[in-house]
Amino acid sequence: MEPKLSKTIIETRNLTRIYALGESNVIGINTIDLSIDAGELVVLKGDSGSGKSTLLSLLAGLDRPTRGELTVADHDLTTATPANLTHFRREVVGMVFQAFNLMPTLNVLENASLPGLLAGKNPDLVTSKAAELLDWLGLSRRRDHLPAQLSGGEMQRTAIARALINDPEIIIADEPTGNLDSRNGQIVVDLLAQLNRKWKRTVIIATHSSLADSMATVKINLKDGMISE
């Protein structure tokens, strides 16, 4: 991987997501203004329901804002076409979830390779890159295993390999340690910190745990969908 750096990588203005539920509206996030420089390690905190996952889904191009401005890595996500968003999700951001979200019928190497193959890259190159990432993640002996044969920590490291296969500028992790014991949680946080420090990736972690606190270069607290101090 090549180290990457530019200037502001995430910029939001009045970013708002309101969920329409029948007659009533639920506020996900409310008028959020953010400016994040490339190379930061952002730790996002807040009570359950404060809007962390809502914000991360918008930043990752998985969801669209109700209103406001949202620019990520020079992509205007408010006006992006569905094809732009697909490209963005595949190549610009790598996403890691609490529940791992691996494909149960694919082995570790295939899971890690999948986004590269979906992006139409050369299968041999994708496979060798996946193998390299799995080595780095300490999973070389698990390549042929199915997710059901892995520990939680191994599943999450497979998910990290998958998130990195297309060399994204930004890694977004939503409660990545939520299903792990503290030892494996620490391993995952250390890997994310290494991606940030060594490879200069911008990393954003939403978490209830304090494992990532000491790694943060930026801390953001959400309360009722808004940034609080």
Ligand X SMILES: Nc1ncnc2c1ncn2[C@@H]1O[C@H](COP(=O)(O)OP(=O)(O)OP(=O)(O)O)[C@@H](O)[C@H]1O
CA distance 74 to 212: 27
Candidates 32-40, 49-57, 123-131, 193-201; binding stretch for ligand X (CB under 6 A): 49-57
**Backbone φ, ψ for residue 203 (5° rounding):** -125, 135
Residue type (1 letter), 83: A
Give the count of alpha carbons within 13 A of 189, CB side only. Answer: 24
Q: Nearer to ligand X by C-beta: 53 or 209?
A: 53
Residue 24 binding: pick among ligand X, Mg ion, none (C-beta 5-8 Å cut-off by kind): none
Residue 195: alpha-carbon gap to chain centroid: 12
What span, in angstroms and rounded, lies between the C-alpha atoms of 49 and 53? 9
Site for ligand X in 29-48 (CB under 6 A): 46, 48
Half-sphere exposure of 59 (CA within 13 A, CB side): 34
Which CB, 49 or 152, lies closer to ligand X? 49
Which of Mg ion, ligand X, none lies near 48, with the C-beta cut-off 5 to 8 A by kind? ligand X
Q: How many secondary structure helices (H) and strands (E) does the chain include? A: 6, 10
**Owner of token pair 């490209």:** 87
Regarding 52 and contact with ligand X (CB under 6 A), the answer is yes
201 binds, among Mg ion, ligand X, none (CB under 5 to 8 A by kind): none
How far apart, in whole angstroms, are the C-alpha atoms of residue 114 and residue 95?
A: 13
Residue among 12, 16, 30, 54 that touches ligand X (CB under 6 A): 54
Decide if residue 107 touches ligand X (CB under 6 A): no
CA–CA distance, 152 with 99 (Å, rounded to integer): 9
Residue 46 or 116 having the CB closest to Mg ion: 46
Question: Residue 26 binds which one of Mg ion, ligand X, none, with CB within 5 to 8 A depending on kind?
Answer: ligand X
Q: Which is nearer to ligand X, 139 or 203 (CB)?
A: 203
> Residue 176, interface with ligand X (CB under 6 A)?
no
Q: Where along the sequence are the contacts to ligand X (CB under 6 A)?
A: 19, 21, 26, 28, 46, 48-54
